[in-house]
């Protein structure tokens, strides 16, 4: 009796006609096992990228912005700033071609306004630092960065035994790099608040801690971290193409509105987050500042009824996370980001400084508290919160139509007027 049964079972068993193609990283994820633990590592196999040098020029917060030089208005100048998702051009590592990238501000239902230049900048820096660290771990490493107000360096200690084995070389490098680039991006907001000018004579204070900066920074960090862990970085060309695709998909997932919807959203916060009566580079053009420096980072969303209606059916808002731990260890126990002052010594800096003084990421919360106090004196006590709605209705503006489109620019069915 058993023999026929065994024969029947054998006949029903699957047979493998051809070898299956398996992504070892997916198997590792399913097992909660670092993908590279069972893989030999050759530092020479890590691609080489030149260090990023300068930040991409882009946008003050607002739309149709006018400018002035000293007290003199610039005639005929108007900076629109707003982009549709399909307007965003191909990525180019370390600033690429600005005319091709077509950076600007995009409004998303789940992530608020995004500054695409910030997204690209932090992505490139995360990629570069992760590649620098992955070659050197678990040994100590110091990575110098171009000066921005101060000398800047990322210092990673020799890692304790077992960290690479528990978390994987690439995951460890990416986690450390993401954390460090977040500190570097916050420092950029700090030094511009205190008057540092990339181009002497051109103030950047109006853009310091603007409503979209921090979320955009973290989005770029997270996208680059994902690309590195996904292995799509074998060359600059591969990275550029992959980052272009990932930015596009991120905009889709975050519910990017078309250009008219983004313009309506920006119009809705005129008088609340920014002041269209001001000109670039007036400090008080941007009246609300996002000074939250801890993770997770939640976006400021426009509460205008028409904008909210255009976003109906979208998933909930998406806070973004920068890990501050690697397993059971605080990253601040393993690494530091140092900022060494030189000849640039702002007089109103909240900590005692002189040439050669070094502060670290551990000092940023105290500095942020001082910025909140100073900002409250200029803008009012709630300037670092989004507020409930529109402060006033700018005169002389027609209501704008919000037409939902997908990220390719195709029209979608829902339409609504943009003004209350």
**DSSP string for residues in 327-381:** TTEEHHHHEEEEEEE-S---TT-SS---TT-EEEGGGHHHHHHHHHHHHHHHH-T
The pLDDT value given to residue 72: 58
Local confidence pLDDT in tens for the 420 residues of the chain: 555 555 454 555 555 555 667 777 777 778 777 767 667 889 999 999 999 988 898 889 999 998 776 665 665 566 789 999 999 999 999 987 778 999 999 999 999 999 999 999 999 999 999 999 999 999 999 999 999 999 999 999 999 999 999 999 999 999 999 999 999 999 999 999 999 998 888 889 999 999 999 999 999 999 999 999 999 899 999 999 999 999 999 999 999 999 999 999 999 999 999 999 999 999 999 999 999 999 999 999 999 999 999 999 999 999 999 999 999 999 999 999 999 999 999 999 999 999 999 999 999 999 999 999 999 999 999 999 999 754 334 333 444 445 454 444 444 434 333 332
Nearest to 161 by CA among 130, 139, 134, 131: 139
Dihedral of CA atoms 355, 361, 362, 367 in degrees, nearest 10, equals: 70
Burial of 350 (0-12, 13-18, 19+ CB in 10 A): middle
Structure tokens at 113: 């306004």
Residues 6+ apart with CB under 8 A from 367: 190, 349, 350, 351, 359
The pLDDT value given to residue 414: 40
d(CA 16, CA 172): 37
> Which residue bears the tokens 């690309």?
227
C-alpha torsion sign, points 133, 123, 297, 338: positive
Say if CB 118 and CB 247 are below 8 A apart: no
Classify each residue of 124-163 as buried b or exposed e, where b means 16 or more C-beta atoms within 10 Å of its C-beta. bbbbbbbbbbbbebbeebebebeebbbbbbbbbeebeeeb
The pLDDT value given to residue 402: 53
Say if CB 310 and CB 416 are below 8 A apart: yes
């Amino acid at each position: 009796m058993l023999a026929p049964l065994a024969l029947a079972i054998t006949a029903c068993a699957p047979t493998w006609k051809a070898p299956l193609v398996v992504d070892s990283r997916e198997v590792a994820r399913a097992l909660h096992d670092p993908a590279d633990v069972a893989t030999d590592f050759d530092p020479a196999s890590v691609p080489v990228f030149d260090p990023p040098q300068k930040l991409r020029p882009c946008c003050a917060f607002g739309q149709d912005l006018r400018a002035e030089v000293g007290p003199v208005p610039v005639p005929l100048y108007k900076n629109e700033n707003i982009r549709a998702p399909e307007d965003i051009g191909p990525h180019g590592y370390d600033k690429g071609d600005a005319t091709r990238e077509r950076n600007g501000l995009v409004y998303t239902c789940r992530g608020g306004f995004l500054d695409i230049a910030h997204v690209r900048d932090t992505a490139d820096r995360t990629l570069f630092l992760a590649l620098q660290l992955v070659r050197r771990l678990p040994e100590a490493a110091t990575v110098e960065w171009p000066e921005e107000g101060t000398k800047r360096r990322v210092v990673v200690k020799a890692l304790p035994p077992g960290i690479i084995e528990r978390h994987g070389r690439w995951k460890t490098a990416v986690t450390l790099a993401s954390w460090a680039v977040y500190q570097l991006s916050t420092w950029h907001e700090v030094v511009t608040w205190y008057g540092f000018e990339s181009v002497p004579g051109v103030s950047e204070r109006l853009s310091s801690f603007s409503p979209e900066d921090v979320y955009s920074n973290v989005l770029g960090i997270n996208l680059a971290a994902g690309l590195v862990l996904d292995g799509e970085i074998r060359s600059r060309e591969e990275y550029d193409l992959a980052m272009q695709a990932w930015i596009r998909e991120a905009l889709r997932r975050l519910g990017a509105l078309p250009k008219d919807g983004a313009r309506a959203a920006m119009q809705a916060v005129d008088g609340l987050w920014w002041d269209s009566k001001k000109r670039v580079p007036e400090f008080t053009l941007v009246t609300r500042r996002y000074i939250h420096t801890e993770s997770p980072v939640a976006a400021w969303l426009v509460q205008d009824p028409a904008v909210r209606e255009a976003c109906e059916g979208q998933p909930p808002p998406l806070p973004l996370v920068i890990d501050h731990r690697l397993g059971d260890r605080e990253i601040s126990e393993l690494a530091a980001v140092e900022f060494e002052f030189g000849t640039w010594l702002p007089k109103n800096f909240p900590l005692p400084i002189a040439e050669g003084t070094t502060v670290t990421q551990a000092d940023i919360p105290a500095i942020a508290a001082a910025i909140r106090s100073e900002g409250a004196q200029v803008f009012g006590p709630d300037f670092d919160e989004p507020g409930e709605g529109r402060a006033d209705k700018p005169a002389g503006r027609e209501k704008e139509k919000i037409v939902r489109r997908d990220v390719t620019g195709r029209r979608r069915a829902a339409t609504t007027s943009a003004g209350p």
